[in-house]
A and B are shown apart, each in its own frame.
Chain A
Amino acid sequence: MAVKRKIFKKSIHSIKEIAQNVFVLSFARNFEFRAGQVVAVDVVTDGEPRLYSIASGELDEYIEILFDEKPDGKLTPKLSALLPGDTIYVSEPFGNFICNDESAWWIASGTGVAPFVSMVRSGQEIGKILIHGGRYDENFYFSDLLENKLSGNYIRCATQQADSAYYKGRLTGWLREQSFLPTELKYYLCGSPEMVVEVRDILISRHIPFGQIISETYF
């Protein structure tokens, strides 16, 4: 198995701030990938690239990544300052946070929704429930797409915004309030380590076997 991955020099197609300090960056796709995989991204060839989940569909013309600018971050302030036509360095895709066609629950916080957006855009939404936690309305990224494809199976939990369309509170609160959580399904978790650990504890306490909980944390 090759550990050294190919690095592609890519020209940015577009970069757009879709919420405060949250950006979608795109570049032309020249590789195949599976929804749920990541790419390593950097602005130089000898730096410390960071990993981002691909948010595009497997057959889309452009690869999109979703990132949250961290003021003290090493890379995201540089990424957010880029313009269309600027160069970035992107690894070939890798990782195995891969879902299949079986029914499953997807649970995400913040930009952790990206792999699930990719899965939806790749036609994997049937039999899935997506629970997304965020602060405000604007933090439910790609909500038009997700509402359209998942309709009633798209649950938004907003901690700071009262809206009848949303559950008011944390997604962990929503989970705790459910009288029934299926024990035979797989649960895919993506987001902050705090969310992943807390949700996993809740699921395990509700008799979900840990082997059915697949997680990916930001790091």
Chain B
Amino acid sequence: MDKQPLFGLSLQKIKYVVASLALPSFTATQITDWLYKKHVSSIDEMTNLSKKARELLNEKFIVGLTAPSNVQISTDGTKKYLYPTATEKFVEAAYIPDEDRATLCVSSQIGCKMGCLFCMTGKQGFQGNLTAGEIVNQIQSLPEFENLTNIVYMGMGEPLDNLQPVLDSLEILTASWGYGWSPKRITVSTIGVIPAMQTFLKQSNAHLAVSMHTPFDDERKRIMPIQSVYGISEVVSELRKWDFSHQRRVSFEYIMFKGVNDTPRHAREIVRLLEGIRCRINLIRFHPIPDTALEGTPYNVIVEFQNMLKARGMTVTIRASRGEDIYAACGMLSTKELVKRQQEPDF
């Protein structure tokens, strides 16, 4: 039987492991210390565990860290790392250094089921979920790990379509027995899978970013299949029930498409839809993908759009484009050239 990874297990799960091996209960916190604070890569490095404990652990477990297998480096310093998964596929994580911060954009799934018209990841289809360990591994095994200030779950996949591993990974990142990060340093993105979003908001204090891309239900349906079951107006109605006036923030991601969602009519509807919600809107330049029917809005029009929203009291930023030469931006992460489909589809 393959040895199981310890990395990615919560303290509670490690307590079960420790109990199953009849080791002293305090061994569990020793192990989480080694995994998440001292960052060891082998059980033998856990030197305050007894020799017997290490032998027992080594029989059935490994630490289970996986180094990136490839990296592409942008002229602006952004780096896109390729990580192999346990299922012999690949995911990507984008490291985005800035003046006083360094953000890592992590993947939560291999491919994606959502099929948004503007997204390169969606073109791969869905190839599997990541475990909590595979999500946190993207952070731990990053060569620039020590520089990181922020984590965003905006890489490949819809995080809330892989809810439990994402929640488990957040627990590891924020718990005192784990990395001990503030949830204020973490943002989870969603397309608006409402039931999972409700669970996330109950169980995590990390920030939430909602992919809006148009405030009109009927227009959103043309670019985002999710709209057929969870409409943006319904998503916003749900968010009204939650308090975003303190530590936790909600933001709305808005990729701008020429002639599709960048008119004064759209700006007015955004203002109407989000009235009363304390939030930020991130306007994002569209990075065209192969064979796309969409064009990006010119920068001067994005600025005009921002000004329209600001004039109506909204907090709006234009996200700087990073890593364009290596296709590192949100929605452009793709292992298309590197991943071979496992089987011929039957449609």
Contact = CB atoms under 8 A, between A and B. Distances in A.
Contacts of A157: 347
Nearest to B191: A219
Contacts of B294: 210
Contact of A49 (B125, B195, B222): B195
Nearest to B193: A219
B238 interface: yes
Interface string A100-122: 00000000011000000000000
Contacts of A192: 125-126, 345, 347
Contacts of A10: none
Given A110-B346, A160-B346, A204-B293, A196 B225 contact: yes
B221 A214 contact: yes
Contact of A219 (B161, B234, B345): B161
B39 interface: no
Contacts of B234: 1, 3
Given A159-B344, A219-B113, A219-B161, A96 B221 contact: yes
B114 interface: yes
B231 A96 contact: yes
B123 interface: yes
Nearest to B122: A197
Contact of B347 (A191, A204, A213): A191
A216 interface: yes
A3 B346 contact: no
Interface string B194-236: 1110000000000000000000010001110111110101100
Contacts of B229: 38, 51, 94-95, 97, 216
Interface string B168-196: 00000000000000000000000001111
Interface string A151-195: 000000101100000000011100000000000000000011111
A205 interface: yes
Contacts of B316: none
A8 interface: no
A17 interface: no
B195 A48 contact: yes
Interface of B: 111-115, 117, 122-123, 125-126, 158, 161, 163, 193-196, 217, 221-223, 225-229, 231, 233-234, 237-238, 241, 291, 293-294, 344-347
Given A159-B346, A193-B113, A215-B115, 14 more contacts: A38-B229, A40-B195, A95-B228, A95-B229, A110-B346, A157-B347, A193-B111, A193-B114, A196-B115, A197-B123, A210-B223, A210-B293, A214-B228, A219-B114
Contacts of B225: 196, 215-217
Given A159-B344, A193-B122, A204 B221 contact: no
A71 interface: no
Nearest to B218: A96
Contacts of B111: 193
Given A1-B234, A3-B238, A193-B114, A96 B125 contact: no
A193 B112 CA distance: 8
Contacts of A73: none
A200 B117 contact: yes
Contacts of A135: 346
Contacts of A51: 229
Interface residues of A, number: 45
A213 B241 CA distance: 33
A62 B97 CA distance: 57
A100 B17 CA distance: 56
A57 interface: no
Contacts of B221: 96, 214
A28 B196 CA distance: 28
B126 A194 contact: yes
B125 A193 contact: yes
Contacts of A1: 233-234, 237
Interface in A35-62: 38, 40, 48-49, 51
Contacts of A216: 225, 228-229
A133 B194 contact: no
B347 A133 contact: yes
Of listed B125, B161, B233, B238, residue having the most chain A CB within 10 A: B125
Contacts of B195: 40, 48-49
Contacts of B233: 1
B113 A215 contact: no
Nearest to A96: B228
A157 B115 CA distance: 22
